[in-house]
Amino acid sequence: MRVLIIGGGGFIGQKIARALAKRGSLRGAPITELALADLAEPAAVEAPFKVSLLTADIAERADVDAIFAMKPDVIFHLAAIVSGQAEAEFDLGMRINLLGSVNVFEAARGLGTNPVVVFSSSCAVYGGEIPREIEDWTGLNPQTSYGAQKAAAELLLTDYSRKGFIDGRGPRLPTVTIRPGKPNAAASSFMSSIFREPLQGETANCPVGKDYELWYTSPRMVVENLIRCAELDAAALGENRCFALPGRVGSIGEMIEAMRKVAGDEPVSRITFEPDQRIYDIVIGWRPHINAKKATDLGLIADSSFEDNVRYFLEDDIRR
Ligand SMILES: NC(=O)c1ccc[n+]([C@@H]2O[C@H](COP(=O)([O-])OP(=O)(O)OC[C@H]3O[C@@H](n4cnc5c(N)ncnc54)[C@H](O)[C@@H]3O)[C@@H](O)[C@H]2O)c1
């Protein structure tokens, strides 16, 4: 079993790589090679099998063909530029999030082996005039360029799967929090930094009110679910290749109280609330009330509380 993680130097890519190193197998077969590909050489991951560290720009077809030379059986396509940057730099978003994804799907098709492709889509595909409660069959109506690029790539993933070119799976990720590291250009960046920085003795600003609700998942759960997506039988997926992953809904205020329960008053006192209209305008269009019935029926799982997310962050990212 050969596995390729595109965007393998990123936050989720590195966590999937470490999880696969621990498991040693995927889809019932031992992993013989794992390749991590990214714009810059990804950090090495210790594993009981061969790990290759590759550089590629997915917007360049020749680069994509070069990383596919290892003939992967399973591809995790995670490379993207995030929401805030795709909104600010439209051409770059089109080049990477849409054309880059087409390059990846075409290279996977070129293998001629119907490989499994797990594509990380986003809850940003929902928005506009749709019901408050979102079901698997709710129409996609993205209100950002990032969401539109993800939705367009989803349609292609489904069509390439229908044609038998690839065996695609397009889970729509909730916001992943608490993300380790530094703030990034995602409009959702504050949804991690208002917990991550205060838990490490620093201040952080929340640009929206405490009543803002989000649909979220922990890094631990999203990694587990993306691996489960790769493991699913194509027959179980049926014709709808793209679906929401299970997540939890919480308001910023409820999540802050959960952090207080785990870590006390001090981290909470380090959060400031200065409104930021640019961030607000993007995140207000994201819908938190999502019924992920298909994913749940397929055996994908949600966190049990935000307290757990805080504990996972302290265990997985601070200790590490
Ligand atoms: N983290 C979240 O909350 C969240 C939520 C919804 C969807 N997603 C999706 O999950 C995926 C992974 O997210 P993440 O949080 O790990 O992001 P990340 O930014 O940490 O990782 C993405 C990686 O893609 C790489 N990349 C960007 N452009 C590239 C290019 N042209 N060629 C090759 N590599 C390129 C980046 O260098 C980065 O390492 C993304 O597709 C993102 O849209 C994430």
Does position 308 have pLDDT exceeding 70, yes or no? yes
Q: What is the DSSP letter of 247?
A: -
| Residue whose CA is at the smallest distance from ligand 1 atom 35 | 79
Cβ 170 under 6 angstroms from ligand 1: no
113 domain residue, yes or no:
yes
Cβ 125 under 6 angstroms from ligand 1: no
Residue 146 a catalytic site member:
yes
Cβ 175 under 6 angstroms from ligand 1: yes
pTM for this predicted structure: 0.95
Cβ 122 under 6 angstroms from ligand 1: yes
pLDDT in tens, 76-108: 999 999 888 998 999 999 999 999 999 999 999
Does position 282 have pLDDT exceeding 90, yes or no? no
250 domain residue, yes or no:
no
Mean pLDDT of the chain: 96
Does position 307 have pLDDT exceeding 80, yes or no? yes
Q: Which residues pair with 50 in a beta bridge?
A: 33
DSSP string across 30-65: E--EEEEEESSPPPP---SSEEEEEE--TTSHHHHH
| CATH number of the domain bearing residue 154 | 3.40.50.720
C-alpha 264 to ligand 1 mean position (Å): 32
C-alpha 265 to ligand 1 mean position (Å): 33
Retrieve residue 118's tokens: 């797990």
Q: What is the DSSP letter of 123?
A: G
C-alpha 254 to ligand 1 mean position (Å): 27
24 domain residue, yes or no:
yes
Does position 319 have pLDDT exceeding 70, yes or no? no
Number of domains, the chain:
1
Q: What is the mean pLDDT of residues 238-265?
A: 96
C-alpha 64 to ligand 1 mean position (Å): 16
| Residue whose CA is at the smallest distance from ligand 1 atom 39 | 10
Distance set, CA 111 to CA 64, 71, 108, 241 (Å): 12, 7, 5, 20
Q: Tell me which amino acid residue 134 is.
A: I
274 domain residue, yes or no:
no
| Residue whose CA is at the smallest distance from ligand 1 atom 30 | 57
26 domain residue, yes or no:
yes
Atom of ligand 1 nearest to the CA of 146: 43
C-alpha 148 to ligand 1 mean position (Å): 16
| Residue whose CA is at the smallest distance from ligand 1 atom 1 | 176
Residue 39: the pLDDT is 98
Q: Which domain holds residue 228?
A: 2-173+218-245+291-298
**CA within 13 Å, CB half, 50:** 10
- The best mutation among 119, 173, 192 to test binding of ligand 1, ranked by most ligand atoms within 8 Å of the C-beta, falls on 173
Cβ 82 under 6 angstroms from ligand 1: yes
141 domain residue, yes or no:
yes
| Separation of CA 165 from chain center | 23
Residue 187: the pLDDT is 85
34 domain residue, yes or no:
yes
**Strand, coil or helix: 194:** helix
Residue 111: the pLDDT is 98
Cβ 100 under 6 angstroms from ligand 1: yes
Cβ 5 under 6 angstroms from ligand 1: no
260 domain residue, yes or no:
no
Does position 6 have pLDDT exceeding 60, yes or no? yes
- What span, in angstroms and rounded, lies between the C-alpha atoms of 317 and 312? 8
pLDDT in tens, 135-179: 999 999 999 999 999 999 999 999 999 999 999 999 999 999 999
Does position 285 have pLDDT exceeding 90, yes or no? no
Does position 216 have pLDDT exceeding 60, yes or no? yes
